[in-house]
A and B are shown apart, each in its own frame.
Chain A
């Protein structure tokens, strides 16, 4: 059987502007696969991610949208803002549907029914679909190495059903399933599932990376690297949710930067050729986690020891990245050093005296 030449769109990598002395973005593609007129909330993080991803991918793209915010808010009455082919699938079948689309194009090319370049097949799953309900199907698609990019836009909760906890909800995050109270003052006691690392460890032949909307060019480059990678790729993107995180809408991009600067969302890439993690990404500065937490209403109930616990978690992430910790961050892991914050026991006493 003659080998079939598959034409691939090798998308160029953009220059990163943050290394330069000035701020000036590289020339971006003019095509706009994601257009206005959708009903996401003002300042929606997943929507920012969706736009950047689709802009990086270009016009020859097929989007798969399992149930989640980006399906529910965007496609009511069959009116969608997608300027490229888009299809909805059930929340649990994100991976299998995407694998099917990829396999269909592979088959059509093999049979000579598709002449153009192989399309960019992108699955945009929320963290509910990617980390809980659709985990098995996504793992299957990655395992079988279909030529697609599976993105988990991680807003750390089930947002479109009204803010319920997912396995990506961070320690201390308040949701309707993890309300803080006298018994469990921190709200959520469990730490989030390390989803991207799990995907990298379990499917080492895939390109896996984490990204954040706070670093747009880095995000777009990782999308392009994932699409250029021959085989399956997986990308987990931090996307703040204004309703669930309870912050002021202008802060969407700011939070995307702060979460990385505070060490709560380590940015890395898994290199499938070398079978190694690349931890070379460094934010402009390192900050204590309190700077990230204080902007969000969902962490408003935390006491000093909870913040110290989160700081310990962040410090572990920094160590994992191989970053030497400054004294201030080690200092902040002791609840006693977090001034003006009442400890949980004292806070209870205060409430009773009132």
Chain B
């Protein structure tokens, strides 16, 4: 019974039978702590969303989507920047393993995470000052060899940790694979320039035209710097081992793209171009060839059909929309022509899948096919060029030998990126290189501070099962599509093909996020509790509190939690704070205990003149 508004004489303010104080939100009606009715206790336990788990650098994707849906764009940008130095770049180029893992993909369509990341990245580019600051200097010098994704990421994290970082880049412009491997119509140069400018603002020195092994030796590196990160990437193109491959007009995929990206290209393509290879680089080469003046572009792959090609389906779709033909099940056995390439000799072939030196089986007994071309671009992978590296640190694949922390033996030298990931089973993607660079930077920091290295922990509770969430709260909504340039207008232009999200589109897309397994402060538990024993002082993720003195364990909140963050834990699992069966009445003495105490002391009080 509320006594609000009633004047109670002081002598009656001691609670005893008949007169009880007003209940309050903080203490409830504390004569009846009903928590001992409970056998299962609801507990907030955040799980890892599958997108965060799939991301190469473990971006907190659920976190920034949640911030975007509330309009807190700057906070969202700052959250991405914890793991990702250049969201504007990955927002354009990433092959989004997060979207493949997205639980919404099992329900209607995956969330367009990359488009939201690009929206945030572009927002960050427009800021006059970046949100990230360099750490307090610790006086240690670190060299990072290579300014590609892994090197950029490592330098960025090291600068934030307070190291004096110098990047050594052999090309005339920084950017590595971001500049040389990715065409301008995917990633405009000015976007990358701005990100590199941001890196320099963190105090990182970038020395271009400095090649390790030529301008700087291995011993220089060890002598002049306290530590070093090798992120040199795979620079040498693989050959297809065909006869006459050294003829004029035979180009290699990555150098072809790199020269165009660096602005040093002198290539003039003929009308008919063949691209050898079925991967993502081959697709980029074929689409770039169209923009460089080729009229007929044919892609020749050993895979029997498009589904087997190690490429991203949407890029493949866009490429075919632009008019590139596909020829499957063929391998080049010779390049024909008199000094200059005139035709290719093709034989039927198939991909045998063996992991030895030659995974391709070519049927040389079958009749050879002549395929007339003016140019051929070979894009069948890259390998490392590590002549300067001591042999003890090389693997039989020609890459760098590291331990599981990315460290070369007992040295202060670490390696990251494609140079160590080749053959590790991971796809060679920008985001994986960024993640590698980040982890290596933190490992390097631990070594420099003399701390023990911890192996990378494997996420134990990734929420894959939609039954662990309450799907009744999520209506079906289609994915917001990014607009594309019409295929006809894409040829001969370096304009971006995929268009950016507007603010409304980004918010709408972020709204579709399930927030799998993670509290997003939706207030649902707070609203449906019958007691109500779920309290919140402010509405924020993880700021709800269950008043265990009162929770009766009905589990309505657990059942109704849309994200699956709440879970029930048997009460016997709690060994502290709860005494069951020992007290006859309640977990805590509640008001009864205090009342008894006060009544016991009543006789000692001085009488009052009422």
**A254 near B528 (CB under 8 angstroms)?**
no
Expressed in whole angstroms, the minimum distance between the Cβ of A330 and any Cβ of chain B is 25
Using CB atoms, name the residue of chain B closest to A20.
B511
**A39 near B32 (CB under 8 angstroms)?**
yes
A77-B31, A82-B2 are known contacts. Are A48 and B23 too (CB-CB below 8 A)? no
- Which residues of the other chain, A, contact B555 by a CB distance below 8 angstroms? 43, 249-250
**A22 near B512 (CB under 8 angstroms)?**
yes
**B531 near A22 (CB under 8 angstroms)?**
no
B550 adjacent to chain A (CB < 8 Å): yes
**A86 near B31 (CB under 8 angstroms)?**
no
Using CB atoms, name the residue of chain A closest to B536.
A30
B319 adjacent to chain A (CB < 8 Å): no
Cα–Cα, bound, A48→B475 (Å): 24
**A: contact size bracket:** 35 or more
A43-B554, A250-B555 are known contacts. Are A35 and B472 too (CB-CB below 8 A)? no
- Which residues of the other chain, B, contact A23 by a CB distance below 8 angstroms? 473-474, 522, 524, 562
**A42 near B512 (CB under 8 angstroms)?**
no
Cα–Cα, bound, A242→B552 (Å): 13
**A25 near B28 (CB under 8 angstroms)?**
no
**A36 near B547 (CB under 8 angstroms)?**
yes
- Which residues of the other chain, B, contact A35 by a CB distance below 8 angstroms? 23-25, 28-29, 532
Expressed in whole angstroms, the minimum distance between the Cβ of B535 and any Cβ of chain A is 9
B18 adjacent to chain A (CB < 8 Å): yes
**A43 near B530 (CB under 8 angstroms)?**
yes
Using CB atoms, name the residue of chain A closest to B532.
A51
- Which residues of the other chain, A, contact B539 by a CB distance below 8 angstroms? 27
A21-77 CB contacts (< 8 Å) to partner B: 21-25, 27-28, 32, 34-45, 47-48, 51-52, 75, 77
- Which residues of the other chain, A, contact B472 by a CB distance below 8 angstroms? 254, 257, 284
- Which residues of the other chain, B, contact A82 by a CB distance below 8 angstroms? 1-2, 23
CB within 8 A of A252: which of B23, B508, B520, B554? Answer: B554
Using CB atoms, name the residue of chain B closest to A23.
B473
Main SS class of interface, A:
loop
CB within 8 A of B4: which of A40, A51, A84? Answer: A84
Using CB atoms, name the residue of chain B closest to A75.
B1
B558 adjacent to chain A (CB < 8 Å): yes
A24-B69, A77-B17 are known contacts. Are A52 and B511 too (CB-CB below 8 A)? no
**B2 near A79 (CB under 8 angstroms)?**
no
B513 adjacent to chain A (CB < 8 Å): yes
A202-261 CB contacts (< 8 Å) to partner B: 213, 216, 242, 249-254, 257
Expressed in whole angstroms, the minimum distance between the Cβ of B510 and any Cβ of chain A is 8
Expressed in whole angstroms, the minimum distance between the Cβ of A214 and any Cβ of chain B is 9
Q: What are 10 residue pairs bridging A and B, where the CB atoms are less than 8 Å apart in the complex?
A: A23-B522, A36-B533, A37-B550, A43-B554, A43-B555, A51-B530, A75-B1, A78-B20, A249-B556, A250-B555
Enumerate chain A interface residues (CB-CB to B < 8 A). Answer: 18, 20-25, 27-28, 32, 34-45, 47-48, 51-52, 75, 77-86, 213, 216, 242, 249-254, 257, 284
Enumerate chain B interface residues (CB-CB to A < 8 A). Answer: 1-2, 4-5, 17-18, 20, 22-25, 28-34, 37-38, 69, 472-475, 477, 508, 511-513, 520, 522-524, 526-533, 539, 547, 549-550, 552-556, 558-560, 562
Given A25-B523, A78-B18, A249-B555; 7 other pairs, CB 8 A cutoff: A23-B522, A23-B524, A36-B549, A42-B38, A47-B531, A250-B556, A253-B556
